[in-house]
Structure 1
């Protein structure tokens, strides 16, 4: 393990396992570096796997001021981890909140990103539900501050897109729920208010994403309602994106279906390394099934 110091003085906890091309894992709001264990176990046989805890997630520092959290801070923190570990360019794997970070890394620092896996990403992006999403972030932050982490975690871990994990793999779900209950209420509340609530929805990034020339694999669960449509938009918008939808699967795709997730990521990384993850053929666009028109 290593403690990484960011430019604004925050200490971040990081780990690395394996050797080879670097793969940086960026966790979701309800997770931390431990949530990538199935992926690190599988990928570290071939790759240098780097995990870390975002600011607000012990043993990383937990700033008290919400102003010390933002999407901009999240991207800068990921770059700080790469710099500290002397990684010039990495494959980036992000889940949910981490998926947003991966996309912003590709937008703002394309020279540091070899490829990106963007999983379960898009909550808060649907235009007709934007206000509801922001209100939910505020309510969750208030609950965390008023009730504490353990009480909120008990309900959060059985939300509409988490019950799938509980039903499929109760042991792994209990581990996930236990890790969530250990998080900092202050860090989680600040993350909700300043990262989740304030980040730009994916649709506002569409014009910029359309010119991102980085291989991308988008992964979604078909019961992750808030992400399905945004992820389809990503596929249609990003010139080198592929889309994998896992059936009967919720938000925590990497824990629900680790074997399928790992195989997809390994195949994707191999294709990228061989320069075989091509841009979409322009002839594949359009709604006609024959290309002959009328």
Structure 2
């Protein structure tokens, strides 16, 4: 089972946090105390992160679906039928996949630094990375992408956090996650069909230059989606602007707590 931690357990509503690739629950360090005042909070480490099983420990091919089932195992173990989800970067991708595949388990979603698809420039970078990943230490590749994604001085804190936490990951786990990047677009393709009834708040930094344009275009047809841009802020907006992020996210969740899901026609 994935490593998880229950940070609070005295309220009716559950909020589950999912981190990004190479990261862990420390990326939500500036959220946990505020969210614990109103919700039962659970952080989960995805395979290959923290003390969760290695990606090589599974008998089947490592896939997005496998990861979804692992998250659901934690929910089932804790007797949680449905929950609110908060994800950043890769975590937001998996929340999209969860809403497509298991929409009945998601009450609402807050998606930070969300990726719906890669821009042509980002796609080229990923292909180049795929070509050279066997020629260099994976941390060099991770560091290069961190600087490309978060290039400005005001991104330094989140950039350093991601690089520092990635050092705790081994090469095989990182490369297994890297091989899932071509499937990112597929995680959003049916969200508006399968999960148009699920309330979603997208929070992104205006300087999240690789992803915000596509995100803004892609969610336009979703009647249950709203988007907030944080100024002077990059990809990991919950780290760079924690107070603004927390204010927007908690107001959104307070409107959803206890809401009944509408049936999709």
Could you state the TM-score of these two structures normalised by the residue count of structure 1?
A: 0.77
Whole-angstrom CA distance in 2 between matches of 1:46 and 1:60: 27
Q: Which runs of 5+ in 1 are unaligned?
A: 6-11, 279-294
Summarize the Cα distance change of 1:212–1:41 in structure 2 as closer, same or farther, 3 Å threshold.
same
Q: Which runs of 5+ in 2 are unaligned?
A: none
Contact residue 120 and residue 252 of structure 1 kept, 8 A: yes
Q: Does 1:225 align with 2:209?
A: yes
**Structural mapping, 1:205-224, within 5 Å:** 205=190, 208=193, 212-224=196-208
Determine helix, strand or coil for the equivalent of 2:109: strand
**1:138 aligns with one of 130, 136, 146:** 130
Q: Does 1:15 align with 2:5?
A: yes
Determine helix, strand or coil for the equivalent of 2:215: helix
**Structural mapping, 1:185-264, within 5 Å:** 185-193=171-179, 195-201=180-186, 204-205=189-190, 208=193, 212-264=196-248
Aligned residue number for residue 17 of structure 2: 25
Residue 53 of structure 1, CA deviation: 1.0
**Structural mapping, 1:9-88, within 5 Å:** 12-19=2-9, 20=11, 21-64=13-56, 68-88=61-81
Equivalenced residue count is 259
Residue 106 of structure 1, CA deviation: 1.3
Whole-angstrom CA distance in 2 between matches of 1:63 and 1:156: 22
Contact residue 32 and residue 57 of structure 1 kept, 8 A: yes
**Structural mapping, 1:267-286, within 5 Å:** 267-273=251-257, 275=259
Residue 180 of structure 1, CA deviation: 2.0
After superposition, the C-alpha distances for 1:166-206 in whole angstroms (9 at most, x for unaligned) are 53664x6544432222222211111001x223333466446
Q: Does 1:179 align with 2:171?
A: no
Contact residue 223 and residue 249 of structure 1 kept, 8 A: yes
Contact residue 197 and residue 261 of structure 2 kept, 8 A: no
Contact residue 125 and residue 203 of structure 1 kept, 8 A: no
Contact residue 133 and residue 197 of structure 1 kept, 8 A: no
Residue 235 of structure 1, CA deviation: 3.1
Farther off after superposition, 115-124 or 86-95: 115-124
Residue 130 of structure 1, CA deviation: 7.2
After superposition, the C-alpha distances for 1:225-280 in whole angstroms (9 at most, x for unaligned) are 221123213431221100001112111111111111111110000011265999xx
Aligned residue number for residue 150 of structure 2: 162
Whole-angstrom CA distance in 2 between matches of 1:90 and 1:238: 20
Aligned residue number for residue 99 of structure 2: 106
Aligned residue number for residue 112 of structure 2: 119
Contact residue 133 and residue 141 of structure 2 kept, 8 A: no
Aligned residue number for residue 9 of structure 1: none
Contact residue 117 and residue 214 of structure 2 kept, 8 A: no
**CA RMSD across the alignment:** 2.9
Whole-angstrom CA distance in 2 between matches of 1:271 and 1:198: 32
Residue 161 of structure 1, CA deviation: 2.8
